[in-house]
Amino acid sequence: MKFAVLVFPGSNCDIDMFHAIKDELGEKVEYVWHTATSLDGFDGALVPGGFSYGDYLRCGAMANQSNIMSALKEFAAQGKPVLGVCNGFQILTEAGLLPGALIRNKNLKFMCRTVQLKVENNNTLFTNGYEEGEVINIPIAHGEGNYYCDDETLASLQANNQIVFTYEGENPNGSLADIAGIINKEGNVLGMMPHPERAANEIVGGADGLKLFKSIVKQWREQHVNN
């Protein structure tokens, strides 16, 4: 499987993502600059964290105007897996690939530590390697990770089982319904604030995030290699 790691001016988790795929997962991966206009030849797309365009205007708003975003939207429409982490999640909401928005943390402070997440839905291409209800440890590093949407959208997310991860125990940012990660209705676009790529090896404190990437590869192989 071949992954694209999108890179915007100000991205700072692209190397972490590249390392997780290449060295921990053992799959093919390439950086794709924001000026590119195609994602042809890739099987999965990863939108990393950081501060794209300095987080001016709104987080992810300027990144959404980049050339690569048209290709990403087409890529997602084809049913291929798209993962947005932290700033990547913000970009996916700005692009309309996921509902809702990420606003300032409730305490108005940048937060960087490991938190516990509960796997609410393990029947997705991103979470099939986890048990339903499993509690995992994943780092966060964000100032605007407070997920918000209107009541109608929240009801839809709940009815369609689109809430994939919630914060277990402490909610670090005030996120609505303790939401830490959601998926689109089609099931191929996931956005999450915590960083699974920073939890891909025990040497950095844990490998709970590696299961997410293994889940993507497992389903891709079942669909493309075993058939």
Q: Which residues are known to be catalytic?
A: 86, 195, 197
Residue 100 tokens read as: 């809702």
Distance between CA 163 and CA 178 in Å, rounded?
A: 10
DSSP 95-112: TTSSSSEEE--TTSS-EE
Q: Give every strand in the sheet of 28-33, ordered side by side.
A: 28-33, 2-7, 44-47, 82-85, 189-192, 179-183, 163-167, 111-119, 135-142
Report whether 153 contacts 125 (CB < 8 A): no
Distance between CA 208 and CA 200 in Å, rounded?
A: 7
- Pairing of the two strands 28-33 and 2-7: parallel
